[in-house]
Structure 1
Amino acid sequence: MVSVRHKVVVEPVPYPRLVDALAVIRTLVEESQADGQRLVLPDGQVIPDIRLTQGRHLRPGSVYLITDVDEEEADDGYAKADADADGSRTTQGADASETVQITVREWDHRRAVRLELAVVDDDMNVELDATLKSPDRPDLVEISGRTRGDAAARTLFEMAGRARVRLDDWWPAAVSDRTPPSAPASARLDHRWIRADVRAVPRPSRDDGRWEIHVTVSLRGRRLLRPVAAAVLTVAAGRIRRSVVQTLDDLAAQWNDRVPRLVAMNADQLREALLSKP
């Protein structure tokens, strides 16, 4: 087994700002109405790049499709979607390298929002089931899913995983010395050969009010390949540790570059940013 412990320091997100941001997103979605496949806001603005392809808007079972559509070919803004025999969806008349299908399983801002996502590109498919409990006062995020590569890379890219963030434990630990009963954020990723476990615990920085996030990453072999994987992990332990540390540092740098700008936005600015195309 290889275990890596590392600390990153990131800019904080006040819990009220999270609540406000989720309210902006929810209001934006709930204010929209379906006009055919388009989603239109009360002011007539079309929500870009997303179409309702099945069911009634925001009802359980409704399906939405997000694609990268070539604007020269999208005279109406959208291309038609057809269902394949296995239930997946493709686009006609659009040069899209990636397709995201979103299925609503539950939409209740008091209880939970649960979405299924299927991301398809040329080399890999990703399936996710994401749940946010009590969206008005969010306290738990749970995500599970799997990835599948094409036939040539199936063994390499086929994985399953799950992640859980207890928000009601994260913020008290991040802003005080309160010790949570267990890591507020955890994840597990299972590959055919290797299992990875991740734990993250926030602490307030003593100097400037930022968050110190203490991360532990553990890797071990699985099943019959455990002895072989153990030998490989032992040989590559140094390189693995450097790679994990570099990845965590890069993620922290991206967070510190982007998140403060989002936190500084008021509701109108965030709404505009969400509706603007990159």
Structure 2
Amino acid sequence: MVSVRHVVVVEPVPYPWLVDALAVIRTLAEESQADAQGLVLPDGQVIPDIRLTQGRHLRPGSVYLTEVEVEDTDNDEDDAGDGNAKADANADADESGTSEEAEASETVQITVREWDHRRAVRLELVLISDDMNVELDAALTSPDRPSLVEISGRMRGDAAPRTLFDMVGRARVRLDDWCPAADTDRTPPSAPAAARLDHRWIRADVRAEPRPSPSRDDGRWEIHVTVSLRGRRLLRPVAAVVLAVAARRIRRSVVQALDNLAAQWNDRVPHLVAMNADQLRETLLSRP
């Protein structure tokens, strides 16, 4: 088994702001109308990329389809080195009436299983792409006073060998425990945020515990993260050897990934939490 412990410091999300933000999103959704042509927002703006294909808007069993663009993961060096090739490809695409960007999209099917702002909101999401399918079940308990977030899912690869990509996972965040632990010295009985990812050969467990930043003046959260990797089933002895050999590289990669996530969080969250409910609603409505 390989265990990695790391601490990141991130900007906080105040619980009252989270309650207001969820209320804004829920209200926008409930004030909108949806049909096979698209989603009509309260201000009359039509979003044609989100279509109701089954059932009634936000009723249990309603199904929506939407297209999401896939971000280009190539770095700048690759872009510079492949500039001529991409230019030629774009020229060919122009002649044929298609483009590489037009093909870089994935279909997402969203099914509403429950929509009750007092009890729970539960959605099923199926992402379909050329390489793999992802199925997710996401639930938020008591959205008016959010207390628990649960996500479970499965990923299936279409490429061979498929066993390299097939995995299942689940995650949960107990907000009732997270927020007091993040803002005070009260320690919860167990990690308020936990996740597990199961592959045929490897199991990964992640636990996160928030604490107030040592300085306390900036209000930031100090999150203690533990990541554990171990082999599964008959391949456990083989996986143990591989993990032992690659332990240093694995630890370095995990730490780097956590630091990158924290940096992205700290870059985006302060701008969001600085908005009040009216500003957030206006921002959501102004998005194309």
Cα deviations across residues 165-218 of structure 1 (Å, max 9, x unaligned)?
Answer: 000000000000001010000000000000000000000012122100000000
Give the match for residue 143 of structure 1.
151
- 3-state SS in 2 of match to 1:202: strand
- 3-state SS in 1 of match to 2:30: helix
Q: TM-score, normalised by structure 2?
A: 0.85
Structure 2 CA distance, aligned partners of 1:48 and 1:238?
48
Question: Which moved further from structure 2: 201-210 or 150-159?
Answer: 150-159
Superposition pairs of residues 139-218 of structure 1, within 5 angstroms: 139-207=147-215, 208-218=218-228
Higher helix share goes to which structure? Answer: 2
Equivalent residue pairs, number = 254
Please report how far the alpha carbon of residue 248 of structure 1 lies from its aligned counterpart in structure 2 after TM superposition: 0.2
| Matching of residue 107 in structure 1 with residue 118 in structure 2 | no
Q: Identity of paired residues, percent? A: 86
Please report how far the alpha carbon of residue 44 of structure 1 lies from its aligned counterpart in structure 2 after TM superposition: 1.6
Match of 2:129 among 121, 146, 168: 121
Cα deviations across residues 18-47 of structure 1 (Å, max 9, x unaligned)?
Answer: 001100100000001234442213332224
Please report how far the alpha carbon of residue 48 of structure 1 lies from its aligned counterpart in structure 2 after TM superposition: 5.2
Give the match for residue 72 of structure 1.
none
Q: TM-score, normalised by structure 1?
A: 0.88
| Matching of residue 253 in structure 1 with residue 263 in structure 2 | yes
Please report how far the alpha carbon of residue 16 of structure 1 lies from its aligned counterpart in structure 2 after TM superposition: 0.3
* Contact 1:48–1:275, Cα closer than 8 Å, also in 2: no
* Contact 2:194–2:207, Cα closer than 8 Å, also in 1: yes
Structure 1 CA distance, aligned partners of 2:36 and 2:50?
12
| Matching of residue 236 in structure 1 with residue 246 in structure 2 | yes
Give the match for residue 80 of structure 1.
none
Structure 2 CA distance, aligned partners of 1:274 and 1:5?
37
Q: Return the letter of the residue paired with 1:210.
A: R
Question: Which moved further from structure 2: 238-247 or 202-211?
Answer: 202-211
Give the match for residue 76 of structure 1.
none
Give the match for residue 273 of structure 1.
283
Structure 1 CA distance, aligned partners of 2:25 and 2:39?
14
Give the match for residue 94 of structure 2.
none
- 3-state SS in 1 of match to 2:42: coil
Structure 2 runs not aligned, ≥5 long: 70-101
Structure 1 runs (4+) deviating above 6 angstroms are none
| Matching of residue 44 in structure 1 with residue 44 in structure 2 | yes
**Change in 2 beyond 3 A, CA 1:64/1:96:** farther
**Change in 2 beyond 3 A, CA 1:36/1:231:** closer
Please report how far the alpha carbon of residue 157 of structure 1 lies from its aligned counterpart in structure 2 after TM superposition: 0.8
- 3-state SS in 2 of match to 1:256: helix
Structure 2 CA distance, aligned partners of 1:104 and 1:212?
35
Question: What is the RMSD computed on CA atoms of the aligned residues?
Answer: 1.5
Q: Return the letter of the residue paired with 1:272.
A: E
